[in-house]
Structure 1
Amino acid sequence: MQSNRVLNIRISGKERKEKVRKLLLDLAHFKNLLILLIRRYKELYGYYPTDQSILYGLIKEGEYSSKKEEKLKSFREVKENILKDEELTRFLKALKEQKKKTDNNYILQQVIRDVVKSFKSYRKAYKEYLKSPKKFKGTPRSPKPKKLKYLMNFSVELNVNTFKRLEDSILISLRINNKEFLKVKLPKDFDFEVKSIRLKLFGTDVYADVVYKAELPKVEKTGKHVAGIDLGLNNLITLLSTNKDLKSFIVSGKEIKAFNQWYNKEKSKLQSEIDTIRNKLSQVEDEKEGESLKQLITEKLIRLKELSAYRKRKIDNDFHKISRKVVDVLKATDHKKLYIGKGATESKDGVNLGKKNNQHFVSIPFRRLIELIKYKAEELGIKVFEIEEPFTSKTSPFADIFEVKRIGKEYLKAKEEGDKDLLKELLIKLKKLTQAVRRRRGVLKDKVLDKIFNADCVGAYNIIRVGENSPRLIKDLKLLFIKLCNPIRFKLTDFLYKVSCESLCECRGIAGSSSLLSRVESF
Structure 2
Amino acid sequence: MLSSRVLSIRISGKDRKEKVRKLLFDLAHFKNLWIILIRRYKELYGYYSTDQSILYGLIADKEYSSKKEGKLRKFKEVRENILKDEELTGLLKALKEQKRKVDNNYLLQQVIRSVVKSFNDYRKAYKEYQKNPKKFKGTPKPPKSKKLKFLMNFSVELNVNTFERLEDSILIKLRINSKEFLKVKLPKNFNFEIKSIRLKLFGTDVYADVVYKVETLELRTTGEYTAGIDLGLNNLIALVSTNPNLESLIVSGKEIKAFNQWFNKEKAKLQSEIDTIRNKLSQIEEEEETQNLKQLLTEKLIILKELSAYRKRRIDNDFHKISRKVVDILKATDHKKLYIGKGATESKDGINIGKKNNQHFVSVPFRRLIGLIKYKAEEVGIKALEVEEAFTSKTSPFADILEVRKIGKKYLKAKEKEDKTLLQELLNQLKSLRKAIRKFRGLLKDKVSGAFFNADLVGAYNILRVGENSLRLIEDLKLLFVKLCNPVKFRLIEFFYKVSCGTRKGAGSSSHNAGLSPFDYQSCGNLTTF
Say yes or no: TM over 0.5: yes
User: Partner letter of residue 455 of structure 2?
Assistant: A
Does structure 1 conserve the Cα–Cα contact (< 8 Å) formed by 2:231 and 2:341?
Answer: yes
Where does residue 509 of structure 2 map in the other structure? none
* Residue in 2 that maps onto 1:5: 5
Task: Supply the distance in 2 between the matched residues of 1:218 and 1:58 (Cα, whole angstroms).
Answer: 48
How many aligned residue pairs are there?
507
Give how far 1:220 is off. 5.5
1:452 equivalent in structure 2: 452
1:421-432 pair list within 5 angstroms: 421-432=421-432
Structure 2 partner of 1:382: 382
In the TM superposition, what are the counterparts of 1:231-246 in structure 2 within 5 Å?
Answer: 231-246=231-246
Deviations 1:16-39 (A, max 9, x none): 000000000000000011001111
Q: How far is the alpha carbon of 1:351 from its aligned partner?
A: 3.4
Normalising by structure 2, report the TM-score. 0.94
Q: Which residue of 1 aligns with 2:438?
A: 438
Counterparts of 1:257-406 in structure 2 under 5 Å? 257-406=257-406
Matches for 1:131-150 after TM superposition, within 5 Å: 131-150=131-150
Task: Please give the alpha-carbon distance, in whole angstroms, between the structure 2 residues aligned to 1:340 and 1:199.
Answer: 32
CA offsets 1:213-238 (integer angstroms, 9 cap, x no match): 12235685431000000000100000
RMSD: 1.4
Q: One-letter code of the match for 1:20?
A: V
Query: What CA deviation, in whole Å up to 9, does each residue of 1:262-310 have, x standing for no partner?
Result: 0000111111111111111222222111111101100110000000000
SS in structure 1 opposite 2:251?
strand
Structure 2 distance, partners of 1:428, 1:97, is 68
Counterpart residue type for residue 98 of structure 1: Q
Question: Does the CA-based 8 Å contact 1:347-1:361 persist in structure 2?
Answer: no
Paired AA for residue 82 in structure 1 = I
Question: Which amino acid is the alignment partner of residue 493 of structure 2?
Answer: T
Aligned with 2:385: secondary structure?
strand
| AA at the equivalent of 1:430 | L
Give the aligned partner of residue 224 of structure 1. Answer: 224
> Counterpart of 1:269 in structure 2: which amino acid?
K
Give, in whole Å, the separation in 2 of the partners of 1:220 and 1:89. Answer: 60
Q: Is the 8 A contact 2:171 2:184 kept in 1?
A: yes
Give the alignment of 1:461-480 within 5 angstroms: 461-480=461-480
AA aligned to 1:251 is V
What is the identity, as a one-letter code, of the residue corresponding to 2:149? K
SS in 1 for 2:441: coil
Matched residues in 2 for 1:418 and 1:90: separation? 54
Q: CA offsets, 1:150-173, max 9 Å, x none?
A: 111100001111111111111111
The Cα offsets for residues 408-459 of structure 1, whole Å up to 9 and x where unpaired, read as 0011111111111110110111100001111121111112322111110000
| Shift, 1:506, TM fit | 9.6
Q: Work out the CA distance in 2 between the residues paired with 1:66 and 1:37.
A: 23
Q: For the Cα contact (< 8 Å) 2:329–2:518, is it kept in 1?
A: no
SS at structure 2 position matched to 1:474: coil
- In 2, Cα distance between equivalents of 1:55 and 1:224: 56
Instruction: Provide the rounded CA distance (Å) in 2 between the counterparts of 1:214 and 1:396.
Output: 42
Alpha-carbon deviation of 1:486? Answer: 1.0
Give runs of aligned pairs for residues 485-504 of structure 1, distance below 5 A.
Answer: 485-502=485-502, 504=517
Q: Which residue does 2:212 correspond to in 1?
A: 212
Distance (Å, rounded) in 2 between the aligned partners of 1:388 and 1:217? 27
The offset of 1:505, in angstroms, is 4.7
17-26 or 80-89, larger mean C-alpha shift: 80-89
Offset of 1:339 from its aligned partner?
A: 0.3
- Please report how far the alpha carbon of residue 491 of structure 1 lies from its aligned counterpart in structure 2 after TM superposition: 0.3
Question: What amino acid is the match of 2:13?
Answer: G
SS at match of 1:363: coil
Once residues 202 and 71 of structure 1 are traced to their aligned partners in structure 2, the CA distance between those partners, rounded to angstroms, is 39
Instruction: Tell whether the 8 Å contact from 2:225 to 2:334 is kept in structure 1 after alignment.
Output: yes
Which residue of structure 1 lines up, in the alignment, with residue 126 of structure 2?
126
Residue type of the alignment partner of 2:206: V
The 5 A counterparts of 1:176-187 are 176-187=176-187
Contact 1:345 1:367 in 2 (8 A): yes
SS of the equivalent of 1:441 reads helix
Paired residue for 1:510? none
How does the TM-score come out when normalised to structure 1? 0.95
* Aligned residue number for residue 512 of structure 1: none
- 1-structure distance, mates of 2:431, 2:220: 45
What letter corresponds to residue 465 of structure 2 in structure 1? R
Q: Does 1:41 align with 2:36?
A: no
DSSP-derived class of the 1:89 partner: helix
The answer to which of 440-449 and 4-13 deviates more is: 440-449
- Aligned pairs for 1:34-113 within 5 A: 34-113=34-113
Matched-pair contact (CA < 8 Å) for 2:396–2:435: yes
The residue type equivalent to 1:286 in the other structure is: E
Question: 2:362 aligns to what SS in structure 1?
Answer: helix
Deviation sequence 1:443-483 (CA, Å, 0-9, x none): 11112322111110000000010000100000000000011
* Distance change >3 Å, CA 65–CA 506, structure 1 → 2: closer
Aligned counterparts of 2:418 and 2:379: Cα–Cα separation in 1: 46
C-alpha separation in 2, matches of 1:499 and 1:448: 35
**TM superposition shift of 1:134:** 1.2
CA contact (8 A) 1:324 1:376 kept: yes
Q: 1:506 to 1:158 in 2, by over 3 A?
A: closer
**CA 1:398–1:59 in 2, change beyond 3 Å: closer, same or farther?**
same
For 2:205 and 2:309, locate their aligned partners in 1 and report how far apart those are by CA, in whole Å: 6
Aligned in 2, Cα 1:251/1:506: closer, same or farther, shift over 3 Å? closer
Amino acid at match of 1:165: R
CA distance in 1, matches of 2:220, 2:470: 26
Residue 217 and residue 431 in structure 1: after superposition, are their counterparts in 2 closer, same or farther (change >3 A)?
A: closer
**Cα shift at 1:353:** 2.3
CA contact (8 A) 2:332 2:518 kept: no
Aligned partner of 1:514 in structure 2 is none
Alpha carbons 2:223, 2:334 under 8 Å: kept:
yes
Alpha-carbon deviation of 1:13?
A: 0.4
